[in-house]
Amino acid sequence: MLSQISFNDFSEEVKLQNIDNKNLTILTLLSEKNKIGSTQVHKLMFLAFAEGRVILPFSFAKWPHGPYSEDLQNSLLQLKKDNLVDMNKENVINFEKDSWIISKTGQKIIDENKQEVAHIKKLIKKTLKEHDEGAISLEKYCYDNFFLKPKNKTDEEWTASIKQKVEDLRTILDSRKKEIASFEEIEETKRAIVLSSFDYMDHLLQKVFSLKNIDQVVQGVLLKNTEEYINLWGEVLRLAKDDSTDKIKLLLFRIREIFSFINEVASKYCVFESIFNSQEKSE
Protein backbone atom coordinates (compact mmCIF):
# COMPACT_ATOMS: atom_id res chain seq x y z
CA MET A 1 0.00 0.00 0.00
CA LEU A 2 2.86 2.41 0.70
CA SER A 3 3.92 2.17 -2.93
CA GLN A 4 0.65 3.92 -3.90
CA ILE A 5 1.28 6.91 -1.65
CA SER A 6 3.21 9.99 -2.68
CA PHE A 7 6.02 11.00 -0.34
CA ASN A 8 7.07 13.98 -2.46
CA ASP A 9 5.79 16.48 0.09
CA PHE A 10 6.73 14.45 3.16
CA SER A 11 9.84 16.49 3.95
CA GLU A 12 8.02 19.80 3.43
CA GLU A 13 6.90 21.83 6.42
CA VAL A 14 3.23 21.56 7.42
CA LYS A 15 1.76 24.95 8.24
CA LEU A 16 0.92 24.84 11.92
CA GLN A 17 -2.01 26.66 13.49
CA ASN A 18 -0.86 29.94 14.97
CA ILE A 19 -2.22 32.60 17.36
CA ASP A 20 -0.40 35.94 17.69
CA ASN A 21 -2.65 38.11 19.85
CA LYS A 22 -1.74 37.58 23.53
CA ASN A 23 -4.56 39.59 25.08
CA LEU A 24 -7.31 38.22 22.86
CA THR A 25 -6.09 34.67 23.45
CA ILE A 26 -6.43 35.10 27.22
CA LEU A 27 -9.79 36.86 26.96
CA THR A 28 -11.11 34.13 24.66
CA LEU A 29 -9.99 31.43 27.11
CA LEU A 30 -11.73 33.22 29.98
CA SER A 31 -14.87 33.67 27.90
CA GLU A 32 -14.98 29.89 27.48
CA LYS A 33 -13.75 29.03 31.00
CA ASN A 34 -14.90 31.81 33.27
CA LYS A 35 -13.88 31.81 36.95
CA ILE A 36 -10.71 29.75 36.64
CA GLY A 37 -7.56 30.36 38.63
CA SER A 38 -4.08 31.17 37.37
CA THR A 39 -2.97 27.53 37.54
CA GLN A 40 -5.75 26.48 35.19
CA VAL A 41 -5.05 29.39 32.83
CA HIS A 42 -1.38 28.41 32.54
CA LYS A 43 -2.02 24.66 32.23
CA LEU A 44 -4.81 24.98 29.65
CA MET A 45 -2.72 27.32 27.50
CA PHE A 46 0.22 24.93 27.82
CA LEU A 47 -1.89 21.94 26.76
CA ALA A 48 -3.30 23.86 23.78
CA PHE A 49 0.33 24.26 22.74
CA ALA A 50 1.82 20.90 23.74
CA GLU A 51 -1.09 18.61 22.76
CA GLY A 52 -3.16 20.80 20.46
CA ARG A 53 0.04 21.87 18.63
CA VAL A 54 -1.17 25.46 18.40
CA ILE A 55 1.74 27.89 18.22
CA LEU A 56 0.99 30.48 20.90
CA PRO A 57 2.60 33.87 21.67
CA PHE A 58 3.80 32.50 25.03
CA SER A 59 6.91 30.57 26.09
CA PHE A 60 6.63 27.88 28.77
CA ALA A 61 9.03 26.61 31.43
CA LYS A 62 9.00 24.34 34.47
CA TRP A 63 7.97 26.04 37.70
CA PRO A 64 7.11 24.44 41.09
CA HIS A 65 3.54 23.70 39.97
CA GLY A 66 4.41 22.51 36.48
CA PRO A 67 4.27 24.32 33.12
CA TYR A 68 4.20 28.10 33.54
CA SER A 69 4.55 31.09 31.24
CA GLU A 70 5.99 34.35 32.50
CA ASP A 71 4.75 36.04 29.28
CA LEU A 72 1.24 34.80 30.00
CA GLN A 73 1.32 35.93 33.63
CA ASN A 74 2.56 39.39 32.68
CA SER A 75 -0.22 39.67 30.09
CA LEU A 76 -2.81 38.64 32.68
CA LEU A 77 -1.61 41.27 35.13
CA GLN A 78 -1.60 43.93 32.40
CA LEU A 79 -5.17 42.98 31.45
CA LYS A 80 -6.15 43.45 35.10
CA LYS A 81 -4.37 46.81 35.21
CA ASP A 82 -6.28 47.85 32.06
CA ASN A 83 -9.57 46.74 33.69
CA LEU A 84 -10.19 44.06 31.05
CA VAL A 85 -10.24 41.24 33.61
CA ASP A 86 -10.95 41.13 37.34
CA MET A 87 -9.87 38.83 40.16
CA ASN A 88 -12.89 37.18 41.77
CA LYS A 89 -12.47 36.12 45.42
CA GLU A 90 -14.72 33.61 47.13
CA ASN A 91 -14.50 31.61 50.34
CA VAL A 92 -14.29 27.85 49.77
CA ILE A 93 -14.30 25.82 53.00
CA ASN A 94 -11.19 27.05 54.84
CA PHE A 95 -9.47 29.11 52.18
CA GLU A 96 -10.09 32.03 49.84
CA LYS A 97 -10.19 31.03 46.17
CA ASP A 98 -9.02 33.51 43.52
CA SER A 99 -10.27 33.19 39.97
CA TRP A 100 -10.15 35.30 36.82
CA ILE A 101 -13.27 36.77 35.22
CA ILE A 102 -13.79 39.04 32.23
CA SER A 103 -14.90 42.57 33.02
CA LYS A 104 -17.54 44.43 31.04
CA THR A 105 -14.76 46.26 29.22
CA GLY A 106 -13.07 42.95 28.41
CA GLN A 107 -16.35 41.52 27.11
CA LYS A 108 -16.65 44.54 24.83
CA ILE A 109 -13.25 43.66 23.33
CA ILE A 110 -14.51 40.11 22.75
CA ASP A 111 -17.65 41.42 21.02
CA GLU A 112 -15.65 43.77 18.80
CA ASN A 113 -13.35 40.99 17.56
CA LYS A 114 -15.82 38.20 16.86
CA GLN A 115 -14.03 36.78 13.84
CA GLU A 116 -10.62 36.48 15.51
CA VAL A 117 -12.21 35.21 18.72
CA ALA A 118 -14.05 32.52 16.74
CA HIS A 119 -10.72 31.46 15.19
CA ILE A 120 -9.05 31.20 18.62
CA LYS A 121 -12.02 29.29 20.04
CA LYS A 122 -11.79 26.80 17.21
CA LEU A 123 -8.09 26.18 17.87
CA ILE A 124 -8.40 25.68 21.64
CA LYS A 125 -11.80 23.94 21.63
CA LYS A 126 -10.39 20.40 21.66
CA THR A 127 -8.09 21.17 24.60
CA LEU A 128 -10.91 22.72 26.66
CA LYS A 129 -13.20 19.78 25.90
CA GLU A 130 -10.60 17.18 26.90
CA HIS A 131 -9.42 19.00 30.03
CA ASP A 132 -12.36 20.05 32.16
CA GLU A 133 -10.66 19.15 35.45
CA GLY A 134 -9.60 21.44 38.26
CA ALA A 135 -6.20 22.96 38.99
CA ILE A 136 -4.79 20.05 41.03
CA SER A 137 -5.81 17.44 38.43
CA LEU A 138 -4.42 19.56 35.58
CA GLU A 139 -1.12 19.94 37.40
CA LYS A 140 -0.93 16.16 37.98
CA TYR A 141 -1.80 15.48 34.35
CA CYS A 142 1.05 17.69 33.15
CA TYR A 143 3.52 16.05 35.52
CA ASP A 144 2.45 12.53 34.54
CA ASN A 145 2.24 13.05 30.79
CA PHE A 146 5.19 15.34 30.15
CA PHE A 147 7.81 13.52 32.24
CA LEU A 148 8.27 16.31 34.78
CA LYS A 149 10.27 15.61 37.94
CA PRO A 150 7.88 15.04 40.88
CA LYS A 151 8.76 16.18 44.38
CA ASN A 152 9.11 12.61 45.66
CA LYS A 153 11.92 11.78 43.20
CA THR A 154 15.58 12.69 43.56
CA ASP A 155 17.44 14.32 40.68
CA GLU A 156 19.31 11.05 40.15
CA GLU A 157 16.09 8.99 40.00
CA TRP A 158 14.45 11.42 37.61
CA THR A 159 17.52 11.59 35.34
CA ALA A 160 17.64 7.78 35.25
CA SER A 161 13.94 7.60 34.30
CA ILE A 162 14.39 10.13 31.49
CA LYS A 163 17.45 8.24 30.25
CA GLN A 164 15.44 5.02 30.19
CA LYS A 165 12.57 6.73 28.35
CA VAL A 166 14.95 8.06 25.69
CA GLU A 167 16.58 4.63 25.30
CA ASP A 168 13.18 2.94 24.97
CA LEU A 169 12.07 5.42 22.29
CA ARG A 170 15.34 5.03 20.38
CA THR A 171 14.95 1.23 20.48
CA ILE A 172 11.43 1.43 19.04
CA LEU A 173 12.57 3.99 16.48
CA ASP A 174 15.39 1.67 15.40
CA SER A 175 12.84 -1.11 14.98
CA ARG A 176 10.69 1.15 12.77
CA LYS A 177 13.79 2.04 10.70
CA LYS A 178 14.52 -1.64 10.10
CA GLU A 179 10.91 -2.27 9.05
CA ILE A 180 11.02 0.61 6.57
CA ALA A 181 14.44 -0.47 5.27
CA SER A 182 13.15 -3.98 4.55
CA PHE A 183 9.72 -2.98 3.22
CA GLU A 184 9.83 -4.01 -0.43
CA GLU A 185 6.86 -1.92 -1.57
CA ILE A 186 8.59 1.42 -0.94
CA GLU A 187 10.66 3.01 -3.70
CA GLU A 188 14.21 3.91 -2.72
CA THR A 189 13.62 7.67 -2.99
CA LYS A 190 10.60 7.43 -0.70
CA ARG A 191 12.47 5.17 1.68
CA ALA A 192 15.35 7.69 1.91
CA ILE A 193 12.94 10.52 2.80
CA VAL A 194 11.35 8.53 5.62
CA LEU A 195 14.66 7.25 6.98
CA SER A 196 16.12 10.76 7.03
CA SER A 197 13.20 11.89 9.22
CA PHE A 198 13.93 8.97 11.55
CA ASP A 199 17.58 10.03 11.73
CA TYR A 200 16.45 13.54 12.71
CA MET A 201 14.30 12.09 15.50
CA ASP A 202 17.13 9.88 16.72
CA HIS A 203 19.56 12.83 16.89
CA LEU A 204 16.91 14.91 18.63
CA LEU A 205 16.34 12.23 21.30
CA GLN A 206 20.06 12.07 21.98
CA LYS A 207 20.29 15.84 22.26
CA VAL A 208 17.18 16.11 24.44
CA PHE A 209 18.88 13.92 27.03
CA SER A 210 22.44 15.26 26.70
CA LEU A 211 21.66 19.01 26.85
CA LYS A 212 22.35 20.26 30.38
CA ASN A 213 20.34 23.48 30.22
CA ILE A 214 17.18 22.21 28.54
CA ASP A 215 14.03 23.04 30.50
CA GLN A 216 12.01 20.07 31.77
CA VAL A 217 8.83 21.32 30.10
CA VAL A 218 10.53 21.66 26.70
CA GLN A 219 12.11 18.23 27.15
CA GLY A 220 8.70 16.77 28.05
CA VAL A 221 6.93 18.30 25.05
CA LEU A 222 9.58 16.92 22.68
CA LEU A 223 9.55 13.46 24.27
CA LYS A 224 5.75 13.16 24.27
CA ASN A 225 5.39 14.26 20.65
CA THR A 226 8.32 12.11 19.49
CA GLU A 227 6.66 9.13 21.17
CA GLU A 228 3.42 9.82 19.31
CA TYR A 229 5.36 10.22 16.04
CA ILE A 230 6.99 6.81 16.52
CA ASN A 231 3.71 5.15 17.52
CA LEU A 232 1.90 6.53 14.45
CA TRP A 233 4.59 5.07 12.21
CA GLY A 234 3.91 1.71 13.86
CA GLU A 235 0.24 2.09 12.93
CA VAL A 236 1.17 3.01 9.34
CA LEU A 237 3.33 -0.09 8.98
CA ARG A 238 0.56 -2.25 10.43
CA LEU A 239 -2.04 -0.83 8.04
CA ALA A 240 0.36 -1.15 5.09
CA LYS A 241 -0.20 -4.91 5.22
CA ASP A 242 -3.90 -4.39 4.49
CA ASP A 243 -5.87 -2.38 1.94
CA SER A 244 -5.91 0.83 3.99
CA THR A 245 -4.52 3.53 1.68
CA ASP A 246 -6.92 6.27 2.81
CA LYS A 247 -6.24 5.62 6.51
CA ILE A 248 -2.51 5.66 5.85
CA LYS A 249 -2.74 9.01 4.06
CA LEU A 250 -4.52 10.52 7.08
CA LEU A 251 -1.91 9.10 9.44
CA LEU A 252 0.93 10.39 7.29
CA PHE A 253 -0.53 13.89 7.42
CA ARG A 254 -0.66 13.67 11.24
CA ILE A 255 2.94 12.41 11.22
CA ARG A 256 4.04 15.36 9.08
CA GLU A 257 2.18 17.74 11.39
CA ILE A 258 3.89 16.31 14.47
CA PHE A 259 7.26 16.42 12.71
CA SER A 260 6.76 20.12 11.89
CA PHE A 261 5.64 20.82 15.46
CA ILE A 262 8.66 19.05 16.97
CA ASN A 263 10.93 20.97 14.63
CA GLU A 264 9.24 24.26 15.61
CA VAL A 265 9.62 23.56 19.33
CA ALA A 266 13.24 22.39 18.97
CA SER A 267 14.06 25.51 16.96
CA LYS A 268 12.18 27.96 19.23
CA TYR A 269 13.85 26.68 22.39
CA CYS A 270 17.32 26.41 20.77
CA VAL A 271 17.62 22.61 20.84
CA PHE A 272 18.12 22.35 17.07
CA GLU A 273 18.18 24.76 14.16
CA SER A 274 15.03 24.34 12.08
CA ILE A 275 15.53 21.54 9.57
CA PHE A 276 13.46 23.52 7.07
CA ASN A 277 15.73 26.56 7.40
CA SER A 278 18.72 24.25 6.83
CA GLN A 279 17.13 22.89 3.68
CA GLU A 280 16.54 26.39 2.34
CA LYS A 281 20.20 27.32 2.92
CA SER A 282 21.43 24.20 1.14
CA GLU A 283 19.25 24.74 -1.95
What phi-psi label fits residue 133: left (phi over 0), alpha (psi between -120 and 50 degrees) or beta?
beta
At 5-51, the pLDDT tens digits run: 555 555 566 889 999 999 999 999 999 998 899 999 999 999 999 99
Torsion 92-96-97-103 (CA) sign: positive
- Burial 248-269, CB ≥16 within 10 A → b, else e: beebbebbbbbbbbbbbbbeeb
* 22-145: CATH topology: Arc Repressor Mutant, subunit A (1.10.10)
* Residue 283 pLDDT class (50, 70, 90 cuts): very low
Average pLDDT of every residue of the chain: 89
* Residue 282 pLDDT class (50, 70, 90 cuts): very low
Q: Which residues partner with 87 through β-bridges?
A: 100
Does CATH place domain 2-12+152-282 in 1.20.120? Answer: yes
Q: Where in the chain is the domain with CATH 1.10.10.10?
A: 22-145
At 158-194, the pLDDT tens digits run: 999 999 999 999 999 999 999 988 887 778 888 888 8
Q: Where in the chain is the domain with CATH 1.20.120?
A: 2-12+152-282
Secondary structure of 88-119 in HEC code, one letter for each residue: EEEEECCEEEEEEEECHHHHHHHHHCHHHHHH
* Residue 90 pLDDT class (50, 70, 90 cuts): confident
Q: In the predicted model, is pLDDT for residue 134 greater than 80?
A: yes
Q: What's the pTM? A: 0.91
Q: Which of 65, 63, 25, 62 is nearest to 45 (CA)?
A: 25
Pairwise CA distance, residues 23 & 20, whole Å = 9
Pairwise CA distance, residues 208 & 271, whole Å = 7
